[in-house]
C-alpha cells in the first residue's frame, strides 16, 4: 500500500493505492516477469483491473484497508480516496451536493489516469456512485453498491412531530437568550431523524450533510444501465434492507448479495468475505 496526495481544483486530496507487489515485474517482462508468470502457469484475465472505492460518511480510506489488501493479493489494483471533508483530505470551501462530489470524482479519475475502472460506493459513497453512474456512464466498467444510501423515506409520525417542534424551536432559538443553544437543539433533531452523523461534523460539512441527505436518488436508479452488484448486511440498522430490494428492482442489470448477521459496515465486520464477493463479481465479467 502506498499513500499519495493530489490537487483537484485547489482541493488537496489524499488517497491510498493497493496493488500486488510483483505485478510490475510481470508487466516489465524479462526473466523476473517470465518467472512470475510461470508461477501462476496461466495468466489471470482480471489481473490489473482497477477498483475505485468510495467510503461512507464519517469514514475514510483507512476503513477499507483490509478489504483492499485482500483484493490486491488477488491481482486487483484498488484505489481509495479520502473524499473531500474526510480523512486527510481538506473540506470544500462551500457546501457541496451529491453532484459536486460526482464532478470531483470525474476530475479525480481524469487526473490520476484511471481507465475502465470498476466503481464501488459504500453508504454515502453509494450516493455518489449512483449519481456518477447517471452522469458519466462511460467512465467505469462495473458498479458495486454496498449498503448504499440515497433513498429518501417518508417521515414517521414521531419524526413529523419532531419536525414540527423543530420549526417552533428554530424560531425560539433564534432569539438572543437561547441562540447559543441552537446547534445543540439541531443536533437533537437530527438524532431523532436517525441522522446522528450530523452531530459529528462542523463548519461547511454540516451544510453539506443537509444538502446530501435531502436528495432522493430513487429516480436515478432506472437510468443505470451498467452491470451492478448490490451488497447489503442483513442486520443493517442505518440503511434498511428494503432499500436493497428497491435498488435490485429498479436497476436493470443488477444482482443482490445479502450478508447474514452483518450490519452497515461489512468492510469492518466481514472484510475477507466482502472482498471475495467483490472479486468474484469482477472476475466473472472478465473471464
Mean pLDDT by runs of 10 across the 287 residues of the chain is: 95 95 43 38 62 96 98 95 97 96 96 90 98 94 96 68 53 50 52 51 86 95 96 96 98 97 97 97 76
Query: The pTM is what?
Result: 0.81
Burial of 130 (0-12, 13-18, 19+ CB in 10 A): buried
**Cell triple for residue 53?**
472505492
**Coil vs helix vs strand at 122:** strand
Q: Which grid coordinates belong to 2?
A: 502506498
Phi, psi angle pair for 30, to nearest 5°: 75, -175
Strand partners, 50: 77
- Quote the pLDDT of residue 46: 56
User: Which ranges of the chain would DSSP assign to H, the alpha helix?
Assistant: 23-28, 30-40, 65-73, 98-112, 124-135, 157-172, 182-192, 204-214, 241-250, 266-269, 271-286
CA-based angle 220:132:63, to the nearest 5? Answer: 115
What domains lie within the chain, and their CATH numbers?
Answer: 2-153+217-286 (3.40.50.1820), 157-211 (no CATH)
Q: Which grid cell is 10?
A: 485547489
pLDDT of residue 12: 96
Kindly tell me the burial class for residue 39, based on how many C-beta atoms sit within 10 Å of its own C-beta (0-12, 13-18, 19 or more): exposed
* 132-149 confidence digits (pLDDT tens): 999 999 999 999 999 999
Amino acid at each position: 500500500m502506498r499513500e499519495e496526495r493530489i490537487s483537484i481544483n485547489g482541493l488537496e486530496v489524499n488517497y491510498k493505492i493497493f496493488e500486488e507487489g510483483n505485478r510490475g515485474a510481470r508487466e516489465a517482462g524479462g526473466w523476473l516477469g517470465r518467472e512470475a508468470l510461470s508461477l501462476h502457469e496461466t495468466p489471470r484475465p482480471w489481473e490489473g483491473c482497477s477498483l475505485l472505492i468510495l467510503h461512507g460518511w464519517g469514514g475514510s480510506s483507512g476503513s477499507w484497508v483490509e478489504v483492499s489488501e485482500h483484493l490486491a493479493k488477488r491481482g486487483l489494483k484498488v484505489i481509495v480516496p479520502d473524499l473531500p471533508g474526510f480523512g486527510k483530505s481538506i473540506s470544500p470551501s462551500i457546501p457541496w451536493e451529491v453532484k459536486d462530489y460526482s464532478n470531483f470524482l470525474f476530475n479525480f479519475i481524469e487526473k490520476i489516469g484511471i481507465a475502465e475502472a470498476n466503481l464501488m460506493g459504500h453508504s454515502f459513497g453509494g450516493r455518489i456512485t449512483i449519481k456518477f453512474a447517471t452522469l458519466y456512464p462511460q467512465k467505469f466498467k462495473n458498479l458495486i453498491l454496498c449498503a448504499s444510501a440515497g433513498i429518501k423515506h417518508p417521515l414517521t409520525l414521531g419524526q413529523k412531530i419532531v419536525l414540527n417542534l423543530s420549526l417552533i424551536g428554530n424560531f425560539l432559538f433564534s432569539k438572543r437568550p437561547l441562540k447559543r443553544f441552537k446547534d445543540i437543539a439541531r443536533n437533537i433533531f437530527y438524532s431523532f431523524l436517525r441522522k446522528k452523523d450530523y452531530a459529528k461534523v462542523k463548519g461547511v460539512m454540516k451544510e453539506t450533510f443537509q444538502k446530501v441527505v435531502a436528495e432522493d436518488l430513487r429516480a436515478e436508479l432506472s437510468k443505470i444501465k451498467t452491470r451492478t452488484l448490490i451488497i447489503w448486511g442483513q442486520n443493517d440498522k442505518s440503511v434498511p434492507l428494503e432499500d436493497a430490494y428497491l435498488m435490485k428492482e429498479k436497476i436493470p442489470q443488477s444482482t443482490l448479495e445479502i450478508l447474514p448477521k452483518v450490519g452497515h459496515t461489512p468492510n469492518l465486520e466481514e472484510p475477507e468475505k466482502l472482498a471475495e464477493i467483490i472479486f468474484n463479481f469482477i472476475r466473472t465479467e472478465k473471464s
